[in-house]
Structure formats: C-alpha cells, structure tokens
Amino acid sequence: MNISEILTPQRVVIDLAAASKAQLLHRFSESASRALGIDEGEIFRALSNREKLGSTGIGEGIAIPHAPLRGIAAPFIHFVRLKKPIDFESIDDIPVDIVYFLLTPTDGNATHLNVLAAIARKLRSPETLRAIRAASEPEEMYLALLDEGAEGERPQGAGPRVARQLPPVGRPEPRGPYRMKRCLFSELGTKQVVVLPASRYRLRATKR
C-alpha cells in the first residue's frame, strides 16, 4: 500500500500548536468530526481508549494515534508536524513533534495493519524525518512521505522532488541507547511490536 493512496496534501498540517496529548487528540477529533460528520466525542473516545492500552508514541519524536471507528468506509488520515514537541509517554521518552492520525473502519483490520506498516516503513527513514522537520510548506512534508522513486505517486503539478540530503534539524538526541520496549496494538487481533535498537526501529506482526 502506498501512502499517496490514503493521504492527500490537504490533510497535512504544519506547525500545529498543542500544549498536551489530550489537547492534540481533541483538536484532531474536532477536525475529523467536521470532515466525517461523526460526533467529535466518539472520535476522541476511540483514540483515548486506544492510548489507554499503551502510548502510540513509537519513538524518535513520532506518534501514530489510531483507532477503528464506526461509520467510516475508508481510512481517514491527518499528518501533523507540531510547532513544539509535547510529551506523549513515548517508548523512548522523547517528546513528539511528528504525528500521524489514523482512523479505520471497524471491519478493516487487514487495512489497518497495511496502513500502519506503510507509515512505519516510511517514518523509519532518517532522510524522510529530516525532510519533514525541515519542510517550510505542507506540500514539502507530503512529498517527503511518498515512496522513493515512485514518480507515478506524485500529484500533478507538484513540482520537483524534495531534496533528500538535508542537514539535521536541531532537536535533543536520546541519552544513551534505547531500552528495548514494546508498543502493542492489541485491538487489531494481532500484536504489532515496535522494536527500537539504538536509533532505528522496525515493525513486525506476530500472532497471539
């Protein structure tokens, strides 16, 4: 699954201000409610209940809040870069500044897994993360997420590709090696395990 199949440039937000995880979830729930015609409180409860199972902060300043939601027929996504990092109770304790919101149909577990895997593959690239953090426009963030070499995925009139060789953007480096921890996406019927050795992570699925 390609990210461009599920994310449009109009759902990319740059430098969003949020003081806390709860406020960020509320702001997304409000935006999703307007777009989907579903009660804001229902969206917020779905995301909050998922966070109670374990933080969706997967490390390196990234979070992927996600939940199944009744009343939608296809995945609904927003991609956000925060103006200032916030505490997300992430597995490496680094504040989060890159957030990928994902709502999926309640009967779409396979789709849910495929979307999460596509996002995780892209966001584990240091070059992609540097491009996202250095972007000055939402379109630059969007282009940074597209699969490398897939010209067919680029929107018409998008212009040249974003340069991949970007200097690191100033942000605190983790102190010492990461301890290996797990983030369980237990609502999916499988376990999604994020393993963080040193500065990289990978996503794998194992049956219960």
Q: What is the 3-state secondary structure of the chain?
A: CCHHHCCCHHHEEEEECCCCHHHHHHHHHHHHHHHHCCCHHHHHHHHHHHHHCCCCEEECCEECCEEEECCCCCCEEEEEEEEEEECCCCCCCCCEEEEEEEEEECCCHHHHHHHHHHHHHHHCCHHHHHHHHHCCCHHHHHHHHCCCCCHHHCCCCCCCCCCCCCCCCCCCCCCCCCCCCCCCCHHHCCEEEEECCCCCCEEEEECC
Q: How far apart are CA 89 and CA 22, in angstroms?
A: 12
Cβ contact 64:100 at 8 Å: yes
| Residues with catalytic roles | 66
> What distance in Å separates the CA atoms of residue 54 and residue 183, rounded to the nearest whole number?
7
